[in-house]
Amino acid sequence: MATLNLSLVESELRKVMSRSQALKHLVRDRLRELEEDPTQFKELRVCPPEIATRRDVTLRKLKFKHQRHEYRLIVAHWSTPGEIDHCDALLLFPRKDDYDIDWEWVEQALKS
Amino acid sequence: MATLSKDTLRKLVVLHALSQWRRGAFGLTRVQKTLFFAEHEAEPRLFTFKRYYFGQYSDDLAPALNGLQRACRLECRFDGSAERLVAVLDAEDRDRLRRAMRRLLPAWCEGFKTSFQEWGLLKHDELLEKAHEDPTYTEYEHDEVIHRSTLRGDFVSDALDDAEAEWLADLVDERLQRALSTRFSLLGGERGKPEPDWESKYFS
Quick one: average pLDDT of A13-27?
93
Q: How far is CA A78 from the centre of its chain?
A: 14
Mean pLDDT of A31-52: 94
First to last CA, chain A: 33
CA dist B152 to A51, B44, B46, B170, Å? Answer: 38, 10, 10, 22
pLDDT value for A109: 85
Whole-angstrom distance, CA of residue A34 vs CA of residue A76: 11
Residues B3, A14: C-beta atoms closer than 8 Å? no
Q: What is the ipTM of this complex?
A: 0.94
Q: DSSP state, A44?
A: P
Contact B192 A59 (CB under 8 A): no
Per-residue tens of pLDDT for chain B, all 204 residues: 889 999 999 999 999 999 999 999 999 999 999 999 999 988 889 999 999 999 999 999 999 999 999 999 999 999 777 799 999 999 999 999 999 999 999 999 999 999 999 999 999 999 999 999 999 999 999 999 999 999 988 899 999 998 899 999 999 999 999 999 999 999 999 999 999 999 999 988
Average pLDDT over all residues of chain A:
93
d(CA A40, CA A33): 8
Identify the closest residue of chain B to A100 by CA–CA distance. B169
Position B105, amino acid: L
Instruction: Indicate the helix (H) or strand (E) that contains B131.
Output: helix B124-133
- Tell me: the pLDDT tens digits for B156-194? 999 999 889 999 999 999 999 999 999 999 999 999 999
CA atoms within a 13 Å half-sphere pointing along the CA-CB vector of A96? 16
pLDDT tens digits, A52-62 = 999 999 999 99
Between CA B137 and CA B190 the distance in angstroms is: 58
Is there a contact between B15 and B7 (Cβ–Cβ < 8 Å)? no
Residue A111: pLDDT band with limits 50, 70, 90: confident
Q: Which of B198, B201, B204 would best serve as a mutation to test chain A binding (most A beta carbons within 10 A)? A: B198
- Is A110's pLDDT higher than 90? no
CA-based nearest distance A50→chain B, Å: 8
CB–CB contact B183 A14 (8 Å): no
Residue A73 pairs with which residues in a beta bridge?
A: A62, A92
* pLDDT surpasses 80 at A5: yes
Question: Residue B91, SS3?
Answer: helix
Instruction: Please give the full DSSP string across B34-61, using - where no structure is assigned.
Output: HHHHHHTTSSS--S-EEEETTEEE-TTH
Whole-prediction pTM value?
A: 0.92
